[in-house]
C-alpha cells in the first residue's frame, strides 16, 4: 500500500488528478472506475480543468461507476447518474457510448448485475478504480459484513450510511434502503486502486482499513491484499494512523520518477 498524506484536501485532490492523468497518458484507452460522494468532487474539478485546458484527453477512455440506488430514476438529483453527469461527464470529452453506469431501475437485478460484471471484463477490466470510504469502512456500498469476495449485487444500506445520505434526499425517510454496488471481489480485480479520504470523521475508518486486521467488518481493509492500492489523505483523515510520520517520510524521499 502507498499512503500519501498531503497538507490539505485541495493539494490531495490535485495530486490525485495528476495520478489519474498519468494513467490516461500512459494508456489512452484506459478503463476507469468512478466513485460518487463529496470526497472526489475536487478531484473531478481538477480533471475537468486539465481536460478543458487541453492537457488531458478522455476520448479513448471507458468508465464504470461503482454503485447506484435501487428504484431511483437516472434524473433524480441524488442519483449517482445525475452526480456523474453534473460533476464530470458533461464537462469532459468522454464519448457517451463508453460511459457505463449501474442502472438502479434494472428489472431483473440478479441478471443485470451479471451483465455489469461481464461488461467490465469485456472492456478489459478496470485499470484504475477511484474510491471514497464510509465512516464504517465501506467501499462502494459494501457495508460491514460484506463478503470479501463479493461481486456486483444488491446490498442493504446500514442506518449509519443512510444517515450520512439524508441531506442528499431531503430527510432520512427518503433515503433508499437498497443499492446495487460492485462487490469487493470486483473492486479487487482493478489493476490499481486510488482511495481518497478527507476529514476527521474518516480517521477511524482509515486507521482500521490501513493498520487493522483484514476483516469483513471493515470492508476497505481488503485493500491490504491489493498489490497497487494508493491512499491519498489529508492530515485529519490520517490523524489516527500510528505510522503517519513514516508514511510522510517515505513519500517525501521517493525518487522523482515514482511520484505523481
Active site residues: 67, 136, 138, 143
Q: Which stretch binds ligand F6R (CB under 6 A): 7-15, 91-99, 131-139, 240-248?
A: 131-139
Cβ-based nearer residue to ligand F6R, 59 or 174: 174
Cβ-based nearer residue to ligand F6R, 223 or 255: 223
Q: What is the CA radius of gyration of the chain?
A: 17
Q: How far is the CB of 121 from ligand F6R (least distance, A)?
A: 21
**C-beta nearest to ligand F6R: residue:** 132
Q: Compute the half-sphere exposure of residue 66: CA atoms within 13 Å on the CB side of its CA.
A: 27
**Binding residue for ligand F6R (CB under 6 A) from 5, 35, 48, 126?**
35
Measured CA to CA, the distance from residue 96 to residue 59 in angstroms comes to: 10
Burial class (CB in 10 A: 0-12, 13-18, 19+), 107: exposed
Q: How far is the CB of 101 from ligand F6R (least distance, A)?
A: 11
Contact indicator for 247, 5 with CB cutoff of 8 Å: yes
Strands (E), 80-233: 99-100, 128-131, 153-156, 178-181, 192-197, 229-233
Q: What count of residues does the chain have?
A: 260
Q: How far is the CB of 257 from ligand F6R (least distance, A)?
A: 30
Q: Which stretch binds ligand F6R (CB under 6 A): 12-20, 50-58, 127-135, 229-237?
A: 127-135
**Binding residue for ligand F6R (CB under 6 A) from 104, 137, 140, 219?**
140
**Binding residue for ligand F6R (CB under 6 A) from 21, 24, 31, 66?**
66
**Binding residue for ligand F6R (CB under 6 A) from 37, 104, 176, 183?**
37
Give residues with Cβ within 8 angstroms of 52, minimum separation 6: 91, 92
Q: How far is the CB of 67 from ligand F6R (least distance, A)?
A: 5
Displacement of CA 212 from its chain's centroid (Å)? 20
Residue 139 vs residues 6, 35, 60, 219: alpha-carbon distances, Å: 21, 9, 27, 6
- Taking CB under 6 A as the rule, does residue 132 contact ligand F6R? yes
Q: How far is the CB of 256 from ligand F6R (least distance, A)?
A: 31
Read out DSSP for 125-156?
--SEEEE---TTS-BTTB-TT--TT--SEEEE
**Binding residue for ligand F6R (CB under 6 A) from 13, 39, 129, 186?**
39
Cβ-based nearer residue to ligand F6R, 62 or 87: 87
- Taking CB under 6 A as the rule, does residue 38 contact ligand F6R? yes
Binding site for ligand F6R (CB under 6 A): 35-39, 66-67, 132-134, 138-141
Amino acid at each position: 500500500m502507498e499512503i500519501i498524506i498531503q497538507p490539505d484536501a485541495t493539494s490531495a485532490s490535485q495530486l490525485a488528478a495528476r495520478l489519474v492523468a498519468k494513467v490516461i497518458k500512459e494508456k489512452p484507452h484506459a478503463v476507469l472506475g468512478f466513485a460518487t460522494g463529496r470526497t472526489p468532487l475536487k478531484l473531478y474539478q481538477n480533471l475537468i480543468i486539465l481536460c478543458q485546458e487541453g492537457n488531458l484527453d478522455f476520448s479513448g477512455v471507458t468508465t464504470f461507476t461503482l454503485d447506484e440506488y435501487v428504484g431511483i430514476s437516472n434524473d433524480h438529483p441524488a442519483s449517482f447518474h445525475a452526480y456523474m453527469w453534473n460533476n464530470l461527464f458533461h464537462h469532459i470529452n468522454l464519448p457517451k457510448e463508453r460511459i457505463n453506469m449501474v442502472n438502479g431501475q434494472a428489472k431483473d437485478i440478479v441478471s443485470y448485475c451479471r451483465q455489469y460484471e461481464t461488461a467490465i471484463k469485456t472492456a478489459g477490466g478496470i485499470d484504475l478504480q477511484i474510491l471514497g470510504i464510509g465512516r464504517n469502512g465501506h467501499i462502494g456500498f459494501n457495508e460491514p459484513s460484506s463478503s470479501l469476495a463479493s461481486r456486483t449485487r444488491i446490498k442493504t444500506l446500514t442506518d449509519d450510511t443512510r444517515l450520512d445520505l439524508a441531506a442528499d434526499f431531503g430527510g432520512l425517510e427518503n433515503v433508499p434502503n437498497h443499492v446495487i454496488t460492485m462487490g469487493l471481489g470486483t473492486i479487487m480485480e482493478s489493476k490499481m486502486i486510488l482511495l481518497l479520504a478527507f476529514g476527521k470523521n474518516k480517521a477511524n475508518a482509515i486507521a482500521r482499513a490501513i493498520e487493522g486486521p483484514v476483516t469483513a467488518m471493515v470492508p476497505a481493509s481488503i485493500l491490504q491484499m491489493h498489490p497497487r492500492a494508493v491512499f491519498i489523505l489529508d492530515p485529519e483523515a490520517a490523524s489516527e494512523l500510528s505510522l503517519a510520520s513514516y508514511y510522510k517520510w517515505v513519500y517525501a524521499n521517493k525518487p522523482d520518477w515514482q511520484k505523481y
